[in-house]
């Protein structure tokens, strides 16, 4: 049994108030795989890259237990490219350039060896591509997690509504939750979104932490207050990777365990933002992760006697 | 030994996306007293009101153990009045009108019977008025908490710097912490502010919770996700009242107990916003408060095994 990750493997060029990167390796599925592979292996990747994507990157991921069988390589095309500039608040950004390239006509194919899928992580992509992967699976996974963004709400809402009916956990940020539900209160937004399909909703709030909703239950996860947020690119994907990595490792999809999974995801995201791109994720040791999770425990622990 | 609360007792007229209030009783010291008196009595109030302030209000507070000996009544003048309109996000607001009235020339006098002060809560006011109360106290209180706002940073920074050197805990919101420190990162801001005097810093983030800093320690308190925030007026003061109320009740000024005090403050603030003005605070029973604190425990509790 295994975890499938679907998403882009791509190039990013990033400007922040602290500096500027060259064209570096990025993409939702790249970050998710770097993050999740700390907790569970194999991670079975589904993506598409052009001939320009470094083979070395794929070998490094394979050495970490990330299968590339589902990654199509289009030798004569170019990989997806995004460049953006972050504002001083590091929560908002402008897109400078988007080149869809190989993603423009991506037809994902689920290899036979992936049909043992127990957990499916659908990274942010065209909803029709996400739907295609779900429909190719012969058995329903134990848990399907979907990440999406405002762009698909604006341009592909009908498909997004279809895919929402087929998933268990939706990941969005606070502005997207508001847009998707037409409710300002996140509690009201969560109720409305859970009526659209997902039983669980995770609302990511960047430096303000994350909320997990299920029925009438809610969990508030903190974000680690950081002195320097160097580059937020990929933080949401790294969060998703830690979340699904912990779920796949423990094979426990209870609300209680999802809380732990959110803390793991938050800890991983807190590393991601410390350096450009995937740099910090590549350096991590198990001990670093344990120490960071411990810091999250300390951050929110309190004991109060009532009455 | 007792708690002194210094601040305005006043009138507010409030517009929110949900409705509009008449001229209703408000003011920092009013909210603080309503909140703190759930946990400790007496609460010794220092304020000034005009002849228009309802005597009945003062009697109701006295019946709750709030001493009015330090409240000056200027029969021929009018009470402080503020009116404002909240934006849809309920975190930002426009001031429509401010009439200083009796606050314009307020000379606080600390009655002799208040000289047993163990805890001093300086609500948001002119820094020179806050300084005057500190300097009238013959013995240094066990803990001095100060609330302030961006307006005083713009107009009375020299006095604010003086008072910051004489207090233990500073309460500000995230925008104010950034303005006061000239740092965007709240971690950097906290370090800079703690060098200005206070050993403890609480940064209130509204619907995003609150942070407590002391030396290199940090605590992240959640806010209860609410379906309806009806009126945020006084939420910060109600938070302060719950915080100092819990500290005065337990007489424990350790970092660990301040975490609990922040949860109590957050619980009280979550009630405050449910109805206009002080309406909800007047209805509260001990059981309601205990249940709400329990909800905060549930909201952040998680258990995760490392390794």
CA dihedral for A281, A284, A286, A288, sign (positive or negative): negative
Tell which of B205, B214, B225, B229 to mutate to test the A interface (max A CBs under 10 Å). B225
Q: With CA atoms as reference, report the closest residue to A254 among A290, A222, A217, A289.
A: A217
- pLDDT tier at B1 (50, 70, 90 boundaries)? low
Residue B38 pLDDT exceeds 70 = yes
Shortest CA distance from B259: residue in chain A: A302
pLDDT tens per residue across span A95-105: 999 999 999 99
- Determine contact: A259 vs chain B, CB below 8 A: yes
Q: Which domains does chain B have, with CATH numbers?
A: 2-300 (3.40.1190.20)
Picking from B89, B222, B293, the nearest residue to A220 by CB comes out as B222
Contacts with B209 from chain A: Cβ below 8 Å: 208-209, 220, 222
Q: Which residue has the tokens 């990157």?
A: A57
Nearest CA distance, A85 vs chain B (angstrom): 17
Q: Distances from the Cα of B256 to the Cαs of A304, B79, B210, B238, B251, in angstroms? A: 10, 39, 15, 21, 13
CB contacts < 8 Å between A and B, how many?
100
DSSP assignment string, A97-148: EEE-GGGGG------GGGTTEEEEEE-SS-HHHHHHHHHH-SS--SEEEEE-
Residue A249 pLDDT exceeds 70 = yes
H-run or E-run covering A214: strand A210-214
Distance CA B232, CA A270 (A): 31
Whether residue A225 and residue B306 make contact (CB cut-off 8 A), yes or no, is: no
Nearest CA distance, A226 vs chain B (angstrom): 6
Q: Quote the pLDDT of residue A117.
A: 96
- For residue B187, report the phi and psi dihedrals to the nearest 5 degrees: -70, -45
Q: Quote the pLDDT of residue A18.
A: 82
* Distance in Å from the first CA to the final CA of chain A: 49
Contacts with B263 from chain A: Cβ below 8 Å: 302, 304
A44 touches A114 (CB < 8 A): yes
Q: Quote the pLDDT of residue B85.
A: 93
pLDDT tens per residue across span A38-88: 999 999 999 999 999 999 999 999 999 999 999 999 999 999 999 999 987
Q: Quote the pLDDT of residue A87.
A: 86
3-class DSSP state of A40: coil
- For residue A50, report the phi and psi dihedrals to the nearest 5 degrees: -95, 180
Whether residue B220 and residue A300 make contact (CB cut-off 8 A), yes or no, is: yes
- Determine contact: A228 vs chain B, CB below 8 A: yes
Distance CA B32, CA B236 (A): 9
pLDDT tens per residue across span B96-109: 999 999 999 999 99
Q: With CA atoms as reference, report the closest residue to B30 among B201, B177, B194, B240.
A: B240
Phi-psi label, residue A222: left if phi above 0, alpha if psi -120 to 50, beta otherwise: beta
DSSP assignment string, B124-168: SS-HHHHHHHHHH-SS--SEEEEE--HHHHHH-HHHHHHHHTT-S
- Determine contact: A218 vs chain B, CB below 8 A: yes
Whether residue A185 and residue B226 make contact (CB cut-off 8 A), yes or no, is: yes
Q: The complex's ipTM?
A: 0.88
B178 touches B213 (CB < 8 A): no
Shortest CA distance from B188: residue in chain A: A227
H-run or E-run covering A79: none
DSSP-derived secondary structure letter, B209? -
- Determine contact: B216 vs chain A, CB below 8 A: no
Q: Quote the pLDDT of residue B17.
A: 85
The model's pTM? 0.92
- pLDDT tier at A279 (50, 70, 90 boundaries)? very high
pLDDT tens per residue across span A198-239: 999 999 998 899 999 999 999 999 999 998 888 899 999 999
What b/e readout covers B149-181, taking b as 16+ CB neighbours within 10 angstroms? beebbeebeebbebbbebbbbbbbbbebbbbbb
Q: Quote the pLDDT of residue B307.
A: 59
- pLDDT tier at A296 (50, 70, 90 boundaries)? very high
Contacts with A88 from chain B: Cβ below 8 Å: 184
Q: With CA atoms as reference, report the closest residue to B24 among B66, B82, B68.
A: B82
B38 touches B245 (CB < 8 A): yes
Q: Quote the pLDDT of residue B19.
A: 86
| DSSP E strand stretches across chain B | 2-6, 10-16, 19-20, 24-26, 43-50, 66-74, 81-86, 93-99, 117-122, 143-147, 169-173, 200-204, 210-214, 217-221
Torsion of CA B272, B15, B174, A203, to 10 degrees: 80
Phi-psi label, residue B253: left if phi above 0, alpha if psi -120 to 50, beta otherwise: alpha
Picking from A185, A205, A209, the nearest residue to B227 by CB comes out as A185
What b/e readout covers A38-53, taking b as 16+ CB neighbours within 10 angstroms? bbbbbbbbbbbbbeeb
Portion of chain A with pLDDT greater than 70, in percent: 99
CA angle at B255 for the pair B253 and B261, rounded to the nearest 5°: 70
Whether residue A225 and residue B304 make contact (CB cut-off 8 A), yes or no, is: no
Tell which of A293, A300, A301, A307 to mutate to test the B interface (max B CBs under 10 Å). A300
């Amino acid at each position: 049994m295994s975890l499938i990750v679907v998403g882009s493997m791509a190039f990013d060029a990033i400007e922040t108030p602290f500096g500027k990167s060259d064209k570096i390796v990025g993409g939702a599925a790249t970050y998710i795989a770097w993050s999740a592979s700390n907790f569970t292996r194999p991670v079975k990747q589904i993506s598409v890259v052009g001939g320009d994507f470094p083979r070395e990157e794929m070998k490094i991921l394979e050495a970490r237990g990330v299968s590339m069988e589902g990654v199509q390589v289009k030798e004569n095309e170019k990989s997806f490219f995004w460049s953006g500039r972050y504002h001083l608040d590091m929560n908002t950004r402008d897109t400078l350039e988007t080149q869809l390239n190989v993603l423009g006509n991506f037809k994902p194919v689920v290899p036979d060896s992936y049909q043992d899928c127990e957990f499916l992580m659908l990274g942010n992509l065209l909803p029709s591509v996400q739907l295609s992967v779900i429909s190719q699976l012969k058995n329903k996974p134990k848990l399907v997690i979907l990440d999406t963004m405002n762009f698909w709400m604006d341009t592909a809402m009908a498909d997004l509504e279809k895919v929402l009916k087929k998933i268990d956990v939706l990941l969005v940020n606070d502005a997207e939750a508001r847009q998707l539900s037409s409710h300002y209160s996140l509690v009201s937004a969560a109720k409305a979104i859970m009526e659209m399909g997902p039983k669980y909703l995770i609302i990511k709030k960047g430096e303000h932490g994350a909320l997990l909703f299920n029925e009438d239950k809610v969990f508030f996860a903190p974000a680690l207050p950081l002195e320097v947020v160097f580059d937020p690119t990929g933080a949401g994907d790294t969060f998703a990777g830690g979340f699904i990595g912990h779920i796949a490792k423990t094979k426990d999809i209870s609300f209680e365990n999802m809380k732990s999974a959110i803390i793991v995801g938050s800890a991983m995201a807190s590393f991601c933002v410390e350096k450009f791109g995937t740099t910090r994720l590549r350096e991590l040791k198990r001990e670093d992760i344990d120490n960071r999770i411990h810091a999250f425990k300390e951050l929110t622990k309190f004991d109060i006697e009532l009455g």
